[in-house]
Amino acid sequence: MKTINGKIVVLGIWLLLGLAEGVPIALASTDTLDNGLNVQTSETVEDESLEDESLEGESTTLDDEENVFGGDDAGLDDEARVFGNDEAELDDEDYTFDDEDNVFGESEELETAEQRDDWDELASLPINGFVEVERGARLGVSENHDNTFLLANFRVRLKTSGNTDKGGFDVKLDFITDEITHETVTDVREARLRYSPTEWMDLSVGRQVATWGVGDLVFINDLFPKNWINFFAGRDVESLKDPSNILRATVYLGDWTWDTVWTPQFDPSTTPTGCRFSVFNPNHANPSNSNSLGQKTVANPESCQHFPDSVAEQNNQAENGEIAMRLSVLWGTQEVAFYGYNGFWKSPKGVRFNLETGLLEPIHPRLGVYGLSSEGQWGPGIFFLEAGHYLSHEDRDGTDPLIENSMVRMLLGYRYDVSATQTVGTQILSEKMLNYDNYQNNLMPGQIEQTEVRNTYTIRFTQTAQQETLRASMFVYHRPENHDGYLRYWVNKRLDDHFDFTVGGNVFSGDRNYLDSEFGMLREDDNLYGRLKYVF
């Protein structure tokens, strides 16, 4: 009975000390330190069991029990060793409690050190970018605008990124002072998180630019927003593609790659507005009058905002979003891709009658597209093709003259290096309107009739010199059925590792009887532009 009481007393003291010190009571519990040392209560018991094996004439079971609970003199000696009796042998005990103090006594220091490391890592993120001055002016006199300048920006770009084992983040900000609109804005070009939960999947969420397709400045299956104001005014080609708030998932299925881009709210392209360009106004056009290109062709000449339309008035409901998919694979030397899209026409391809104002207002009707593309080596250059079937969901049979019909678009292109410093590329885009008879039979009086087939021809020349520090490019659109065309040219000189300078121009042509054509309505907006950039 005395032995049992002694065991109970010792066990109670052990439990109380364990609770007071915050030490795990379970014999199998483990605390792992940064230096890799494990503190296990079971190790102490194991050492005590080895010591008991050296005792002669006593039961092994009883000895082990006394060793644990301390019921006789030998047990008391072991008890003193376990609980820190200064008169006993304390080497192993001191070592155990020193490690214990390292776990609980230095935890705040470790946490503070980790926080310092996080802040140091954040402060060490690379931040770079550039400062750019952009200027662009009309070459001639416009009947519609008093202001000669189309482009008058001062821009500062800041960007940074960070990476982890599983992902990272990217941030790109533009701070722009626009002397045309007299506004200073912050353009979030990129603010996204990247994460790879497995080896076969990449995720990206946030604001970012998405793009695909094989055309050169001709877009069939690339149904992501474009900024045509930036492009026609002379900003760099990067600014043609607008960012969107999207979720992108890329799945790798053997040789196949499956991309999915979901945009929760429809994001239209940015089309020319009246404060900078001569924009066609269907409410005042008179196609029978060849001199009708005057002020009546400019919609909202005092405003730089887009036309009001039904999509812009919608809220962030899921049904007003967009989803685009691409499935691609490399077959030999050919990269083949299949596409699907469900959303809206990116440019306003329809109008509605506003009963309150009595005017026609542009809208973005619903659209579905499926298509394919192929690109690869053929002869001395690269041959590519792309096709898309456009389904106009709100005018499937083509009987609504105010909404764009369904159509088929096909692109053929070829580019090759003439020499080490010269490249030439050419493309043919053909667009065929479906249900054309229904379209003709339902035209409204005075409405400008489109042709059933429209072709666009493009050619690009690129030249480099002076060890590629000097680059020049010329790109031409020609559309015979639309009676219009467009020329974009530029020369860029890199002065050193920080400075570069670009000069260029935009020239539009078009028949005055085809005021609704994209290039023809801008025929008074020919311009010359220049950009000076300092990169840091």
The b/e string for 519-535 (b: 16+ C-beta within 10 A; e otherwise) is bbbbbbbbbbbbbebee
Whole-number Å distance between alpha carbons of 206 and 189: 10
Residue with tokens 């970018």: 129
Whole-number Å distance between alpha carbons of 363 and 371: 24
Q: Give the pLDDT score at 298.
A: 58
Contacts 24+ apart (CB under 8 A), 504-508: 504/234, 504/528, 504/529, 504/530, 505/139, 505/234, 505/529, 506/232, 506/233, 506/234, 508/484
Length of the chain: 536
Per-10-residue mean pLDDT for the chain, 536 residues long? 43 42 39 37 39 41 41 43 42 44 50 58 82 95 81 97 94 96 94 97 98 97 96 96 97 97 95 83 54 46 55 54 97 96 94 82 93 97 98 95 96 97 98 96 86 97 97 97 94 97 96 73 92 98
Segment holding 82, helix H or strand E? helix 73-83
Whole-number Å distance between alpha carbons of 160 and 158: 7
Q: Give the pLDDT score at 54.
A: 41
Q: May I ask the CATH architecture of the domain 130-535?
A: Beta Barrel (2.40)
Domain coordinates of the chain in residue numbers?
2-119, 130-535
In this structure, the strands spanning 527-535 and 38-40 are unpaired
pLDDT tens figures, 79-118: 434 444 444 343 444 444 444 444 444 555 555 665 565 5
How many other CB atoms sit within 10 Å of the CB of residue 425? 18
Q: Give the pLDDT score at 144.
A: 72
Q: Give the pLDDT score at 438.
A: 96
Whole-number Å distance between alpha carbons of 490 and 171: 29
The b/e string for 197-217 (b: 16+ C-beta within 10 A; e otherwise) is eeeeebbbebbbbbebbbbbe
- Three-state DSSP at 202 gives strand
Mean pLDDT of the chain: 79
Cβ atoms of 442 and 414 closer than 8 Å: no
How many other CB atoms sit within 10 Å of the CB of residue 24? 15
Strand partners, 110: none
Pick from 447, 77, 10, 388: which is nearest to 212 by CA? 388
Cβ atoms of 187 and 180 closer than 8 Å: no
Q: Give the pLDDT score at 284.
A: 61
Question: How is residue 308 written in tokens?
Answer: 């009001």
Q: Give the pLDDT score at 362.
A: 85
- In angstroms, how far is CA 466 from the centroid of its own chain? 35
Q: Give the pLDDT score at 448.
A: 78
DSSP assignment letter at 418:
S
Residues 6+ apart with CB under 8 A from 124: none
Cβ atoms of 341 and 324 closer than 8 Å: yes
Whole-number Å distance between alpha carbons of 289 and 309: 28
Q: Give the pLDDT score at 42.
A: 39
What is the residue-wise DSSP string for 492-518? Answer: EEE-SSSEEEEEEEEEEEE-TT-TTST
Whole-number Å distance between alpha carbons of 425 and 415: 4
Q: Give the pLDDT score at 207.
A: 98
Question: How is residue 351 written in tokens?
Answer: 């109008």
Q: Give the pLDDT score at 427.
A: 98
Q: In terms of C-beta density within 10 A (0-12 exposed, 13-18 middle, 19 or more buried), how is residue 329 classed? A: middle
